[in-house]
């Protein structure tokens, strides 16, 4: 009887190893694989801006950086996968961009029409010119009303103008 139970255990043991499931670890996504695109002043990955709006915004942002040394970057995205929250996505994108001095934005504006979210990231050095309350006020007063009308280009243009006005002061 002992030999039979021993043989049964030996036969079943390898089978249980083969069919057992391993628990997948909850890992942080690799930013390099998520944000592997090239970035410019205006990055319309969601395709919500017209070519004229992209050109106008890009030229405005480029001239502003040349004159005042503050780089503003706009990114539109249809999805934040594999991230679960929009602020986390924007923060990781900002960290990713800040690793390259050519891409490092002073202000990063991330917008998604699909998710109906906007997030603004800025460096700490400009807090004396642009507080969180100022940022919130600019977004709710200038960008959101135009977004509700469906004109994302105009909303971004108005918000960017206000950000630039705040950064020009002092």
pTM of the model: 0.80
Is residue 2, in this structure, part of any structural domain at all? no
Q: Could you give the CA distance from residue 158 to residue 137 in angstroms, rounded to a whole number?
A: 12
Q: Given a cut of 60, is residue 13 above it in pLDDT?
A: no
82 part of a folded domain: yes
Q: What is the mean pLDDT of residues 144-149?
A: 96
What is residue 11's predicted lDDT score, i.e. its pLDDT?
59
Whether residue 12 lies inside any domain: the answer is no
At residue 35, does pLDDT exceed 60? yes
Within 8 A by CB and 6+ apart from 116, the residues are none
Indicate if the pLDDT at residue 12 is higher than 80.
no
> How far is Cα 102 from Cα 105, in angstroms, rounded to an integer?
9
Helices vs strands, H then E, count in the chain: 7, 4
* 107 pLDDT higher than 70: yes
- The pLDDT tens digits for 109-118 are 999 999 999 9
Contact at 8 Å (CB) between 126 and 167?
Answer: yes
* Confidence at 169, pLDDT banded by 50, 70, 90: confident
Measured distance CA(156)–CA(42) in Å, rounded: 10
Query: 7 in a domain, yes or no?
Result: no
**Does residue 75 carry a pLDDT above 70?**
yes
Give the range of the structural domain holding residue 124, as residue numbers without chain letter: 31-168
Number of independent structural domains in the chain? 1
Residue 22 has pLDDT above 50, yes or no: no
Please report whether residue 49 resides in a domain. yes
Residue 49's CATH number: 3.10.310.50
In a domain, 20, yes or no: no
Q: How far apart are CA 108 and CA 97, in angstroms?
A: 9
Mean pLDDT of 39-68: 96
Instruction: Evaluate whether residue 9 is within a structural domain.
Output: no
Average pLDDT, integer, range 157-170: 92
pLDDT at res. 124: 85
In this predicted structure, the answer to whether residue 60 has a pLDDT above a threshold of 50 is yes
Give a yes or no: residue 25 inside a domain: no
């Amino acid at each position: 009887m002992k030999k039979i139970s021993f043989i049964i255990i030996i036969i079943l043991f390898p089978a249980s190893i083969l069919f057992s499931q391993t628990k997948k670890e909850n890992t942080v996504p690799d930013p390099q694989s998520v944000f592997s695109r090239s970035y410019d002043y205006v990055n319309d990955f969601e395709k919500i801006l017209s070519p004229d709006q992209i050109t106008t915004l890009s030229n405005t942002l480029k001239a502003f950086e040349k004159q005042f040394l503050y780089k503003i970057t706009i990114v539109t995205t249809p999805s934040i996968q594999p991230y679960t929250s929009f602020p986390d996505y924007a923060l990781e994108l900002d960290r990713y961009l800040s690793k390259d001095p050519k891409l490092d934005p002073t202000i990063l504006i991330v917008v998604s029409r699909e998710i109906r979210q906007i997030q603004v990231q800025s460096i700490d050095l400009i807090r004396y010119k642009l507080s969180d309350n100022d940022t919130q006020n600019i977004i709710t007063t200038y960008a959101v009303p135009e977004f509700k009308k469906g004109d994302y280009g105009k909303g971004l243009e108005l918000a960017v103008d206000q950000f630039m006005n705040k950064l020009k002061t002092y």
